[in-house]
Structure 1
Amino acid sequence: MRDQILIDKQELTFGNVTFMSILTPGHSPGNLSLVFPVFEQGVPHIAGLNGGTGIPAPKVDREKKIVHQIADHALFQADLLSHRQPDAANPFVIGIDDVQNYMKFNALCTNVIAARQGMDLDV
């Protein structure tokens, strides 16, 4: 596949999986996230990969600022997933209400950080 420039809500298919791109500008204007179907024990769900919603910041030690593992407990959830019983729930399947709450909270945090840095974001 050749390089492509994706636009908001453009679909991109690899094999039998179709991803939808969602523009999520924050730390850069062209930042995007991906939404795609997944299945857990035959039950369909929608998964999303957040491309980042940060705001511009000076270079820092990136390893000290990685929030993915703490913002959504990804490392803990992955450990639970690898040790769960066959009938136990998938810790990454959280439901639409929790996803919406996470996104609202994330937007609020971004606005607070931006305001502290003298920026006015329309998030």
Structure 2
Amino acid sequence: MAVKDGDLLALGNTRVQLYVTPGHTPGTLSLIFSVYDQGVEHKVALWGGTGLNFGPDRQRILTYSASAERFRGLAKAQGADIFISNHPARDGARERLPMLKQRQPSQAYPFVVEPVEVQGAFELLRDCSYAQALQLDAKKH
């Protein structure tokens, strides 16, 4: 299926917002959708392109940084309180998944964090990739 930036995909009662976030690859998609835990709605920001999987391509790195900043704003506007990456080693999923088996009904869902932490994840992606571009600039001079 072909999608455009901002398209909405309906999966039963779940609505998934699709955003084009190029950088990792030109067609990377990142998603925002709701999940529910004990009747409480949470917003998931799923970053679709963790990592710079290419060489020293300054423009592509800057595109990645800009995509991270744009998606940060989208996640903030929707109050995202869950950050998930396309790589489970990057978002704490490896540590959090086992917590689900031991979770008691009164305990918080292990993936839920303060929205400021979600913002921080995207700031880190934005800033670290931007620093890579600056490093390339420094090597030229």
Shorter-chain TM-score: what band?
0.7 to 0.9
Q: CA RMSD in A?
A: 2.0
Point out where structure 2 has 5 or more consecutive residues left out of the alignment.
56-85
Which of residues 6, 9, 12 is equivalent to 2:9? 12
More displaced stretch, 45-54 vs 87-96: 45-54
Give distance in 1, aligned partners of 2:31 and 2:54.
23
The alignment covers a number of residue pairs equal to: 107
Give distance in 1, aligned partners of 2:89 and 2:9.
30
Give the number of the structure whose residues are more often helix, by fraction: 2
Amino acid in the other structure paired with 1:20: Q
Deviation of 1:54 after TM superposition, in Å, equals: 3.0
Compute the TM-score of the two structures, normalised by the length of structure 2.
Answer: 0.67
Question: 2:45 corresponds to which residue?
Answer: 48
Q: Secondary structure at the match of 1:108?
A: helix
More displaced stretch, 19-28 vs 68-77: 68-77
Amino acid in the other structure paired with 1:76: E
Question: 1:111 corresponds to which residue?
Answer: 130
Q: Which has the higher contact order (CA 8 A, sep 6+)?
A: 2
Q: Deviations over 1:67-87 (max 9, x none)?
A: 933432111111112211111
Q: Where in structure 1 do 4 or more consecutive aligned residues deviate above 6 Å?
A: none
- For the 8 Å contact 1:55–1:114, the answer to whether it is kept is no
Residues 1:30 and 2:27 aligned together: yes
Question: 1:94 corresponds to which residue?
Answer: 113
Compute the TM-score of the two structures, normalised by the length of structure 1.
Answer: 0.76
User: Taking structure 1 as reference, are residues 48 and 22 closer, same or farther at Cα in structure 2, changes over 3 Å only?
Assistant: same
- For the 8 Å contact 2:50–2:87, the answer to whether it is kept is no
Point out where structure 1 has 5 or more consecutive residues left out of the alignment.
59-66
